[in-house]
């Protein structure tokens, strides 16, 4: 038996809880950078190294070892997947189900953070794990194809129906779609939330970070993702926020341009040309897709 956890914290906690089997952490950030099927290792290694400021060779080697682990996992017997109800976890779960859908899979699929549980509660979660059904694997493959496609309109059908075999799939894809520039002001949901918080006054990161996501978190982004977003907002040709001072005392504040975008007086995509990856979509001035929160749909600008 082998357990695949979405991160090291839960993997270590499961070991301490004496849950039988080998425990490995799945280390990726598939909400970051290009997620395209071509030249997988090199594309992902370059994206992660650039985003997190890490050594490219080390990242590439880590990804190669992880892919080898996934290749060998079916030979270990039952594969137990441990994931939570947030977008970060959901995308990783889709990838693994797409890779290992023919293996013997079971799932601990939790709406609350697993890393906050007591060891006994985690063991009880393991004992009540459920088998991954063929319908769930089929839904995961369809969802993964939509997530990695160059044209994101394949996401729209996933926003209009609940799948009993796959709870949280619809909500997660609504969260993913909301990261695209909105029809109201050109901001994605995370940018919108950051500016909304900073509109009430400047904050240092420890005070800002907990306010970016809900409780329990639904996007599931860690401090590295949020910090990278803050740096991006400050580094745009027309900055939407400012960063003053040095870490850990860096102070973040909204700019007048940020206030105008937040209010809808100015469209962010009109003052700063988009250049970002969301799944398989490369958002640019020439390839711009918008999120309409009223109709719950993505469409070309």
pLDDT digits (tens, 9 = 90+) for 53-64: 899 999 999 999
pLDDT for residue 215: 75
pLDDT at 167 exceeding the cut of 90:
no
Domain identity same for 26 and 119: yes
Residue after which a domain boundary falls, among 176, 199, 226: 176
pLDDT for residue 53: 87
Mean pLDDT of 83-110: 96
pLDDT for residue 161: 86
Domain identity same for 35 and 125: yes
Residue after which a domain boundary falls, among 121, 156, 176: 176
Question: Contact 230/99 with Cβ under 8 angstroms?
Answer: no
Mean pLDDT of 123-146: 96
pLDDT for residue 38: 86
Question: Contact 25/101 with Cβ under 8 angstroms?
Answer: no
Give the angle subtended at the CA of 105 by the CAs of 217 and 128, to the nearest 5°.
65
Domain identity same for 17 and 140: yes
Mean pLDDT of 238-252: 93
pLDDT for residue 214: 79
Mean pLDDT of 285-298: 96
pLDDT at 102 exceeding the cut of 80:
yes
**284 domain residue, yes or no:** no
pLDDT for residue 163: 85
Cα distances (Å, whole numbers) of residue 148 to 52, 156, 189: 21, 14, 20
Closest alpha carbon to 90 in 19, 22, 18, 174: 174
């Amino acid at each position: 038996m082998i357990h695949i956890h979405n991160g090291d914290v839960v993997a270590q906690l499961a070991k301490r809880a004496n849950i039988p089997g080998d425990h490995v952490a799945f280390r990726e950030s598939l909400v970051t950078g290009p997620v395209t099927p071509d030249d997988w290792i090199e594309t992902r290694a370059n994206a992660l190294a650039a985003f997190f400021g890490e050594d490219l060779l080390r990242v590439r080697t880590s990804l190669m070892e992880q892919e080898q682990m996934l290749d060998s996992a079916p030979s270990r017997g039952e594969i137990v997947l441990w994931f939570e109800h947030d977008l970060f976890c959901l995308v990783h779960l889709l990838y693994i189900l797409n890779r290992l859908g023919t293996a013997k899979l079971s799932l601990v699929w939790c709406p609350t953070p697993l890393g906050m549980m007591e060891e006994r509660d985690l063991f009880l979660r393991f004992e009540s794990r459920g088998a991954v059904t063929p319908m769930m694997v089929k839904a995961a493959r369809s969802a993964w194809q939509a997530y990695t496609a160059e044209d994101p309109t394949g996401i729209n059908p996933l926003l209009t129906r609940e799948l009993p075999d796959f709870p949280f799939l619809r909500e997660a894809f609504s969260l993913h779609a909301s990261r695209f520039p909105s029809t109201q002001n050109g901001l994605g949901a995370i940018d919108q939330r950051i500016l909304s918080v900073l509109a009430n006054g400047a904050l240092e990161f420890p005070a800002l970070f907990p306010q970016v996501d809900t409780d329990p978190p639904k996007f599931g982004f860690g401090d590295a993702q949020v910090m990278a977003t803050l740096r991006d907002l400050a580094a745009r040709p027309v900055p939407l926020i400012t960063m003053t001072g040095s870490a850990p005392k860096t102070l973040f504040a909204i700019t007048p341009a940020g206030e105008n975008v937040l209010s809808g007086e100015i469209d962010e995509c009109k003052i700063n040309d988009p250049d970002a990856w969301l799944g398989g979509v490369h958002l640019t001035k020439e390839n711009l897709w918008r999120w309409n929160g009223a109709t719950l749909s993505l469409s070309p600008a």
